[in-house]
Structure 1
């Protein structure tokens, strides 16, 4: 009995540690089943062309207002400036194309996707630059994931809401990054050179690979410690029974 329990615990441990979350795609509306090369990714999605969870068609649509991806209207409170909109395009490319979001993928029960990201640690520069370039915009909602009026087929401000200054809705970069997509992102004070935060956009080799590795290895170390503690407890309990 003692041996059987130990074997079971070890098999559970190996199973949990063997899950490869470093190179995977979410189970969501437009994601590929597996990541791979996409040599024709469009404009701001191009950095992921060597290994992507998005297709070339998805990358093109990510740049269009009211694209078929989600029928989402960036201009719900008037025209959004190009300098602000570029960050939302980068955000869309990151979400659709990145193969290194595994450590932060969570299961959800939603009609348009079965998985989402939660608390992805963003580099401080990305949040600050995004907020700075959008601070003169207006919006009617803090959380853009839900609560819209979709009666026209595209998102419109819900009844009773008012378009307000961006800085009134999001007084800090942290509030914007964490609230706008229902905690998909986590604001950090890590810089892009730290290796501890994800970059929404980059040039050259994908720096997010090593960041994902860092968090995966941390989770594995914690899992190994937990399993070791559980094995010790099980061994002590079985010894007392024998």
Structure 2
């Protein structure tokens, strides 16, 4: 996990990040001390698949553009989460394509693990099967794996209406426009429930 391919995955947010350099480095380790979460709970997952989870963590920890979707939660390990972030359809599709042949034992990774060893293990009675078995569609993966942190968007990359997990920082951050659009829309109509958004706090 220390190859140059993985060690640069948080770089899109380098100029304006909500995470430290140490956090960024830790996100590229498996398992990461930040979460003690083992992606290889059913054997080694494909490197292409693992890349999406590192990117997901980089977005979660480092992106300054998720404000419209943040909500407070009362959990022992965190005080806030994001909900229904509109993920660009290409990002979701590629995540699913790259992970469909890897193995897991659960369709919701937020809860229900056996943590008795200090790291996540499959709960009793859970069977290791392909991702495609637990997540038959891209939407099932992106929306279900983290309890609806993401929502599959009908919009494409570059539309200004969906969040990208990865972008070329040399071309600017496209997620800034997306966050601004939803924030302004929610401010204009605070009682309206926008697709892929939470009411602005």
DSSP-derived class of the 2:190 partner: helix
Determine which structure has the larger helix proportion and give its number. 1
Partner of 2:138: 173
Work out whether residues 158 and 174 of structure 2, in 8 Å CA contact, stay in contact via their aligned partners in 1. no
Paired residues, number: 184
Stretches of structure 1 lacking an aligned partner (at least 5 in a row): 1-41, 226-242
- Distance in 2 (alpha carbons) for counterparts of 1:50 and 1:186: 27
Distance 2:81 2:185 in 1: 21
Runs of 4+ in 1 over 2 A off after TM superposition: none
How far apart are the structure 1 equivalents of 2:168 and 2:14? 11
Quote the offset at 1:223 in angstroms: 3.0
TM-score (norm 2): 0.89
Q: CA RMSD in A?
A: 1.2
Q: Tell me which structure has the larger Cα radius of gyration.
A: 1
After superposition, the C-alpha distances for 1:148-192 in whole angstroms (9 at most, x for unaligned) are 000000000000100011111000000000000010000111000
What displacement does 1:220 show? 1.2
1:9-88 equivalences in 2 (<5 Å):
42-88=7-53
Shift of 1:81: 1.1
Unpaired segments of 5 or more residues in structure 2?
1-6, 193-201
Question: Matched residues in 2 for 1:193 and 1:67: separation?
Answer: 31
1:2-45 per-position Cα deviation (integer Å, ceiling 9, x unaligned) = xxxxxxxxxxxxxxxxxxxxxxxxxxxxxxxxxxxxxxxx5100
Q: Which residue of 2 aligns with 1:101?
A: 66
Q: Is the 8 A contact 2:83 2:150 kept in 1?
A: yes
